[in-house]
Structure 1
Amino acid sequence: MAYVAGSAVTPKMSVAEFYAGKTLFITGGTGFIGKVLIEKLLRSCPDVKHIYCLVRPKKGRAAQERLTTLFEEPMYDPLREKQPNFAEKVSAIHGDLLEPELGIKPADKILVQDTVDIVFHSAATIRFDEPLKLAVEMNIIGVRKMIQLARGMKNLQVFVHVSTAFANCDQVCIDEVIYPPPVEPQKLLNALEWMDDDMVKMITPKLIGGKPNTYTYTKHLAENLILKEAQDLPLTIIRPSIVTAAWKEPVPGWLDNWNGPSGLYVAAGKGLLRSLLCDSRVVADILPVDFPVNLMITAAWHTVVNRPVEFAKIYQLTTGSLNPFTWGEMEVEVANYWKNNPLGECFRRPKMRIMTESGFLHDLWVLVSHLIPAYAADLAFFLVGRKPRMVRIYRKIHKELEVLKFFTVRDWSWTHSNIEMLKTHMSAEDQKDFYFDPRLIHWPSYMENYCSGTRKFMLKEDLSGVPAARAHIKMLRNIRYTFNTVLLVVFWRLLIAKSSLARNSWNFVLGLVFKFVQFFKLTSTLRT
């Protein structure tokens, strides 16, 4: 069906109807996006026939055991209320992106290739500082293995690949196209075969060029691999920005990791983070996880039902130009939340303003407000027989700050014509159920839920501890005031010993204080 700009198109079938009777294959099902994708598909498309998830054994637990444990998480409670036996529709396929042919057993491979209709490939290493060899193995070679598996699927209708909006972050204005790679993917793979780890580490900065990390670099190359090797597959690419806590589904504020800004929110709430190198006017292009998940589901539906002409239609989902929310605005909302709902056992009182654009001031504050207190605290821990930990915590915080620095001082713009087109092909009911338009987000209420989610789902705290937390903050404030007063007294006494001017100033200040006290006593006596 042709798309006519500015007009609505009557859908051939609803999204839920399309997924009825379909068998799906998902990679990354135990990851952040994958968990939400499984939950949403089963809840909103209840007639899905079956979902197979590629799951690798981990920490002595078999693939199916990991999947069973995953379904016990609170995020599946809403689904469990509607469909108590939902887990029967999901099966684990033992496998690993790092193994030859994905490590899938021959019998499982036959099962998948005989039955699967739709593939969602979201598995990847999302660590920004991942060594290049491992990032290539997961994010590029893993895509090649998935293409080879999909090519043998007899009933394949669509292959959805999850990339990132920052795959082309060396551009300023990013269109819905696959940009030429800095190097042909196969040439890089050939070179890495004979290089040892030390050599790869040495040349990595030169290889990635204008990219800030191996994640964005390998995601860009993966798109080019798809362009060259998957022309015969019905394929679509999703590019979300920084994926964060849920907006509405499965639970407002739900998250399961410290990626993106989540760890920094908690560090600020605990009074640990005192400085962030950031341009407060830059857009913080964060995106609640339910938005890209809904886009994945509806993009697959559109690819099959409306059969777009172009190969690998690209859907970019970012908030910057559609519903901008700056880092400065984010700072205000986060600070207000922690002020009203403080966390327990704070290291120091949360600082309300932590952003600076000056590299020198940031380094100075890191030294004065991060490192010196951390070493002092660890010395105190050591003296009382406890294990030092603050320096280690701050190393993690500084590592995260370094990773995010590239994104907190730059702005990008993305085109969104394909998501606008997709909306016109959806019914009003589907647009409501499978929402992905970021203009729906009310940032203050979302940030409140986000911070609440870090407390509830990551720190396992609840609001019942807020009164005790406020008392702790008050104690920290009194300690700070006492320390500052003692420091001021010591400072002046040292000056008084050497300076008549300082001595006279000191006596003048003491005289004013004495007169104020006398006046206060006299006023109280007269009132009595």
Structure 2
Amino acid sequence: MAVREWFAGQEILLTGVTSDIGNVVLEKLLRSCPGVKAIHLIVRSRNNQTNEDRIKNIFASPGFERLRQQCPDAISRVKTIEGNLVYDDLGVIEDQLNILKNVSVVIHAGGPHDALFEFCSELPSLKAASAVMNLFKQRRKTSNDESFPNIPLSILRVPAVGPALKEPMPGFLNVFKGATALMVGAGYALGDDNLPASILPVDIAANTLIASAWGKATSTEKENVTIYNSPALNCTWRRLIESGRKASKKFPYPSFGMRGMTANPWLHWFVVLFFEWLPSVLCDTILQVLGTKPRIVDDHLRIRTALQALDPVLSRSWPTDQKSLTELNNRMSPEDQEEFFVTPEIDLETYVLCAAAGVKKLCPNNNAKIVNMFKFVLCAALAVALFFMVFI
């Protein structure tokens, strides 16, 4: 049975919908699986916004523009439930717990998972559950690990998530993370650039979560847990950075960030301090003198935070066994392989170019003119200083 056909009539519980992967999973399910009966979202109220307000903001975001055009009534299949993944029964009140008794598929796209897995074990109609886990945050587990409940579960292990390859649009991103900052040359990174670039496009992650749930439910295998390792970009970090250098000629990221990577912590510290942080501080100081709100340092700190979160991925290699993923792909029909692509060929140059364009479109940066002008002033001042040192 095809993936789309199997999902027809199913009730799905989706957690982590406010994450980058969760956003794309929701959009993909609503657009590609029109027969889904209902999608229940566990979302907690936050920052003076109700859970329904947060979902409305998601539907109004650029990532759902294609869905709004093609399936304007899709939101009617979405049911929002107040809850919290760290609590027993996911913090859901008793009346709404009864609604979830009909859930047959659980997709966990982000957040704590222990309470969720226990909740899954109590769902009488559960056919399959799929979950994403960060390799550098979760200890390795095997299918025989006793900490997993006795449920039909598939797990996708990912080191880092990058912009979309194709859907909902090439280069799409809704969170500026370390992988994207590295690709567009927003800052200098600490790591081994000879290691494989362990970045998984967000739409491949979403497709794998959806397809693996189908695969688990329709499989004849008796194993409770199936582990999937994310496919690599088939390049090193060095080559990825070089591709980003080419893309930046068309879509430059406006910051004082130095493009590149080093395994030497002292060199990394020196470059970040004197070529990124110090120019940012000087630029903000001038802005303050001119009566303009300083903002370059804030952007620098945001980029540094994003890249630091990527440090564990850049310093070691990660599992690359693709046997389970290949078997899943081979079980899918040609139409499903096209619609729910889990092992596509990736043209690196095109992917990085679309990522740079996506950053420019979806994460507009108002610092471009200021940064470029300040760079020109610094270069001019340096040239004048060298001239006096040499000829005078």
TM over 0.5: yes
- In the alignment, does 2:301 pair up with 1:383? no
Q: What pairs up with 1:167-186 in 2 under 5 angstroms?
A: 167=136
Unaligned runs of 5+ in 2: none
Return the alpha-carbon distance in structure 2 between the equivalents of residues 399 and 390 of structure 1.
14
- SS of the counterpart of 1:110? helix
Return the alpha-carbon distance in structure 2 between the equivalents of residues 477 and 401 of structure 1.
23
Indicate if the aligned counterparts of 1:356 and 1:362 stay in contact, CA closer than 8 A.
yes
Tell which structure's C-alpha radius of gyration is larger.
1
Distance 1:357 1:229, change over 3 A: closer
- Give a deviation string over 1:52-94, Cα, whole Å, max 9, x none: 0101112222222322221112222222222220000011011
Distance 1:490 1:347, change over 3 A: farther
Corresponding residue number in structure 1 for 2:65:
77
Give the TM-score, by structure 2 length: 0.90
- In the alignment, does 2:47 pair up with 1:59? yes
Return the alpha-carbon distance in structure 2 between the equivalents of residues 48 and 324 of structure 1.
35
Moved more, 406-415 or 446-455: 406-415
- In the alignment, does 2:224 pair up with 1:318? no
- SS of the counterpart of 1:381? helix
The partner residue of 2:56 within 68, 76, 79 is 68
Deviation at 1:413, TM superposition (A): 3.9
Q: What pairs up with 1:393-408 in 2 under 5 angstroms?
A: 393-408=299-314
Distance 1:59 1:409, change over 3 A: closer
- In the alignment, does 2:139 pair up with 1:220? yes
Q: Which amino acid aligns with 1:308?
A: E
Indicate if the aligned counterparts of 2:171 and 2:354 stay in contact, CA closer than 8 A.
yes
Q: What pairs up with 1:418-497 in 2 under 5 angstroms?
A: 418-438=324-344, 440-459=345-364, 473=372, 478-492=376-390
Distance 1:431 1:281, change over 3 A: same
Indicate if the aligned counterparts of 1:238 and 1:314 stay in contact, CA closer than 8 A.
yes
Q: What pairs up with 1:337-348 in 2 under 5 angstroms?
A: 337-343=247-253, 346-347=254-255
Deviation at 1:305, TM superposition (A): 1.3
Return the alpha-carbon distance in structure 2 between the equivalents of residues 81 and 395 of structure 1.
37
Indicate if the aligned counterparts of 2:231 and 2:343 stay in contact, CA closer than 8 A.
no
Deviation at 1:100, TM superposition (A): 4.1
Return the alpha-carbon distance in structure 1 between the equivalents of residues 180 and 29 of structure 2.
26
Q: What pairs up with 1:154-173 in 2 under 5 angstroms?
A: 154-164=124-134, 166-167=135-136
Q: Which amino acid aligns with 1:335?
A: R
Q: CA RMSD in A?
A: 2.8
- SS of the counterpart of 2:139? helix
Return the alpha-carbon distance in structure 1 between the equivalents of residues 59 and 144 of structure 2.
32
Distance 1:18 1:332, change over 3 A: same
Return the alpha-carbon distance in structure 2 between the equivalents of residues 153 and 357 of structure 1.
48
- In the alignment, does 2:20 pair up with 1:20? no
Corresponding residue number in structure 2 for 1:196:
none
Give the TM-score, by structure 1 length: 0.68
Distance 1:152 1:368, change over 3 A: closer
Return the alpha-carbon distance in structure 2 between the equivalents of residues 145 and 225 of structure 1.
19
The number of residues matched between the two structures is 392
Unaligned runs of 5+ in 1: 1-12, 125-138, 168-215, 493-505, 508-528
Distance 1:369 1:57, change over 3 A: same
Deviation at 1:476, TM superposition (A): 5.4
Indicate if the aligned counterparts of 2:27 and 2:67 stay in contact, CA closer than 8 A.
yes
Distance 1:478 1:293, change over 3 A: closer
- Give a deviation string over 1:405-446, Cα, whole Å, max 9, x none: 3322332342111111112211111111111104x1111001
Distance 1:37 1:478, change over 3 A: closer
Deviation at 1:371, TM superposition (A): 3.4
- SS of the counterpart of 1:296? helix
Distance 1:313 1:252, change over 3 A: same
Q: Say which structure is richer in helix.
A: 1
- SS of the counterpart of 2:84? coil
Percent identical pairs in the alignment equals: 28
- SS of the counterpart of 1:239? strand
Distance 1:329 1:71, change over 3 A: same
The partner residue of 2:242 within 327, 332, 346 is 332
- SS of the counterpart of 2:280? helix
The partner residue of 2:198 within 263, 285, 288 is 285
- In the alignment, does 2:283 pair up with 1:409? no
Return the alpha-carbon distance in structure 1 between the equivalents of residues 313 and 383 of structure 2.
40
